[in-house]
Every structure is written in structure tokens, then in C-alpha cells.
Structure 1
Amino acid sequence: MTTIKENSWNVPNALSAYRILALPFIIHSIALGNKQLFITLLSINLITDILDGLIARLFRLQTELGAKLDSLADIGTYIMAFAGLITLEQEFVAEYRYGFVCLITLWMLPQFLALLRFGRFPSFHLWSNKATGYIQGIFIFTFFLFGFWKPYFCFMLVFSCLAYLEELALVLTLPKLRSNLKSIFFVFRLKK
């Protein structure tokens, strides 16, 4: 029996690898306190995140390696986004600390539980997580360029927390980690 090997060297995987390689430069921009450089580098990471998924789906270049690279790049970008916000906008973060603590806790919980249960981070690529990435990216981008708008911030918090709860439910209920799932509803419908 022959096994078909997937081609791991493709444009979406290269874009995910770029996002990982960009992380030290984002850290450097935060350490310098350079908001302009931070938002520029972070925006490039967010745009390449959109592109890698779009290209992978459009040209059917989705691979297991790509899902893992994308998830790792997402985690790194997510951590850098909040590290930049916490470091560069300390007063704002202090004022809304309870919202940020809730958001970060609900994001970290499925990550650590997946590491404990399965030995790796989840790479579900749920629709809710994709939407959350866009919503959070828009929040961070507009916050640094145009300032704070509380209604959008509250919407971002609620939507993000619901998406993280969906991921948590999957980590707790799936017998093994699977990549590229659409939604918890599809997973449970397939079980019936």
C-alpha cells in the first residue's frame, strides 16, 4: 500500500512561516516602544494570516503541516498583539483589565488543556475563531490608528469569549485532536 505524501512547500505555508519569523521583530518594536512599527508589523501579520487561509482553501493547498504552522503563527501573533497593547497602552488595559483577564483566560484555557490532553495546541480553524481573528484584528488596528470605541470593544470581547468557549468545548469532548474543523455543530452532527 502506498501513501500519498502531501506537498508541504507551498505559498500558504510560506506565509505562515513568515508570520512566525516576524514575531521577534514585533517583540523588538514593543521593546522600543515604537507604536508605528508595532502596528505596521502586526498588520502585515494579520493580512498574511488572511491570505494564507484564503490561498490554501482556494487552491486546495491545505496540509496538516500548514494547519500546525498557521496555528502556531496565530498564537504568536495573538500573544504579540496583546503584549503590545499591554505594554504600549497601559492605562487603557488597566481600565478594562477585567475584560482582558476574561479574554486571555478563555483563550489560554483550551490551549493548555489541549497541551495536557494531546501534547499539542489545537488547530481547529473554526469559523468562530476565524471571525474572532478578523474582529480582534480590526479592533487593534483601529484602536492604534483612530482611538478607542467602546461599543466595538464590548462586541469584540463578547464574540471572542463565545468563540473560545466553543474551542474549549471541543478540547474537552473530542477523543483526539483534529485539524480544520468548521464548527462544533458539524462535529457533533457527524457523531450522530
Structure 2
Amino acid sequence: MILDRLKVFQKFNIADWLSFYRIFSFPFLMVFIFLDWRLVFTWMLLISYSTDAIDGYLARKFNMTSSRGSQLDSLGDQLTLVAGLLGLWVFEKDFIMENIEIIAIPMVLYVLQMIIALFRYGRTTAFHTYLAKLSAILQAVFILWLLFFGPVYWLFYLVIAIGIVETVEEIILIGMHKYWVKDVKGFYWAMRDKRRQERIKN
């Protein structure tokens, strides 16, 4: 019985386990927010963001990409983003309230994108577009810098702008793909693949 359970864990690779780390660290991050342990929270959030960068690299480098891995990665990313935003709300509430109208734009679009994906696919997307990766990096840098040192406004506006463009692209990609797919580089590449398929059919 125990051996059978252990065999289940053998199905997961190192990239999956790094995604699991982000998922399992989420409740601890929530506890650190509740306890008002800003520095501990920020360092643990830094580790979570670091695992996000590492697991994607390992998955591509050692050909460990899979539908399961993409979904785990997306879930870990979403939970880490939620943790970061909740941390900002608690530790930098004045900054958030001063800029709430601007912050609300990408947030509303993001929620809308998730709702559309759930209705269309029954689950969240895992496109992992280039814009999504760039947006995630900028968000991580801004959130960590804000928590460690304070706000940098040019970076804040850049994060908002890229976040809006990236989310709109994801909504367009959902409209272009009838069925759930993973690892779509972006709108340009999706259109190129669509034209290629049309030429093959004709």
C-alpha cells in the first residue's frame, strides 16, 4: 500500500515539485501576512518567484513539459500573484488606495479572462505567452521592490500597461482556440499557425 502511494510521487518531475512548492507555500504566506511579518513574507515571496523562473527553464531544458505541468505551473503562478497582491494590500495599503483606479483596470480584465476561460474550457488557461512571462517578471520585480524599498512609479505604470496588453491578448487567444491548449507563444504565433493549418487544408 505504501509503495503504491510512493509510486504516485515518481510521476512528478523536478519542475512539477517547484510548482508544488509555490502552491504549498501559499497558506504560509497568508499566515505571515496575518502575523504582520513583512520581512519574512517578502523573502518567502522572493523564493516563490524564483521557483517560477527555475521550473519553466528546467521543463524546457530537459523536455519535461506536459499538460499537467503547465496546469500546476499556472496554479502556482496565480496563487503567488494573489499572495503578492494581498501582501501589498496589507503592507502598502496607502500606495494601493492612492492608485486603486489604475490597478483596477488590469485586475478586472484578469478576472474577466479567467471567467471566459472557465466557461470555454472548464479550467484556467496555460498559454504561457511571451507577454505573460514578461508581465510576470515585471510584476515580481515591482512587488518585491515595493515591499523591500518602496514604490518606483515608472515601473508601476509599465507593469500596468504590460498587464493590460497581456490580458487582452489572452482573451483574444481564448477566442481563437476552441479547445484548451498549452504553451502558445502569443497572438502572432497563433495567427501564423492558423494560416499554416488553413494552407494545409486547402
Q: Tell me what 2:3 maps to.
A: none
Q: TM-score, normalization: structure 1?
A: 0.94
Tell me the CA shift for residue 177 of structure 1: 1.5
Does the Cα contact within 8 Å between 1:124 and 1:178 map onto a contact in 2? yes
Say which SS state the counterpart of residue 20 (structure 1) adopts: helix
Say which SS state the counterpart of residue 183 (structure 2) adopts: coil
Distance of 1:49 and 1:149 partners within structure 2 = 23
Q: How many residues align?
A: 186
- Larger Cα-atom Rg: 2
Q: Tell me what 2:111 maps to.
A: 108
Say which SS state the counterpart of residue 91 (structure 1) adopts: helix
Distance of 1:8 and 1:187 partners within structure 2 = 31
Q: Tell me what 1:159 maps to.
A: 162
Say which SS state the counterpart of residue 128 (structure 1) adopts: helix
Tell me the CA shift for residue 160 of structure 1: 1.2
Matched, 1:94 2:97: yes
Distance of 2:152 and 2:131 partners within structure 1 = 22
Worse-matched range after superposition: 140-149 or 12-21: 140-149
Pairing partner for 2:19 from 7, 16, 23: 16
| Letter of the structure 1 residue corresponding to residue 131 of structure 2 | S
Worse-matched range after superposition: 29-38 or 90-99: 29-38
Pairing partner for 1:141 from 134, 139, 144: 144
Structure 1 segments of 4 or more deviating over 2 A? none
Q: Tell me what 1:3 maps to.
A: none
Q: What are the superposed Cα offsets for residues 85-115 of structure 1, whole Å, 9 maximum, x if unpaired?
A: 1122111100000111112112111111101
Q: Tell me what 1:177 maps to.
A: 180
- Which structure 2 segments of 5+ residues have no match? 1-9, 196-202
Pairing partner for 1:50 from 53, 57, 68: 53
| Letter of the structure 1 residue corresponding to residue 149 of structure 2 | F
Distance of 1:90 and 1:147 partners within structure 2 = 12
Matched, 1:83 2:122: no
Superposition RMSD in Å? 1.1
Does the Cα contact within 8 Å between 1:8 and 1:66 map onto a contact in 2? no
Q: Tell me what 1:4 maps to.
A: none
Q: Tell me what 1:117 maps to.
A: 120
Matched, 1:31 2:31: no
Distance of 1:29 and 1:169 partners within structure 2 = 37
Distance of 2:162 and 2:186 partners within structure 1 = 15
Tell me the CA shift for residue 145 of structure 1: 1.4
Tell me the CA shift for residue 173 of structure 1: 2.7
Say which SS state the counterpart of residue 117 (structure 2) adopts: helix
Does the Cα contact within 8 Å between 2:92 and 2:147 map onto a contact in 1? no
Worse-matched range after superposition: 142-151 or 14-23: 142-151
Tell me the CA shift for residue 172 of structure 1: 2.4
Distance of 1:173 and 1:10 partners within structure 2 = 31
Q: TM-score, normalization: structure 2?
A: 0.89
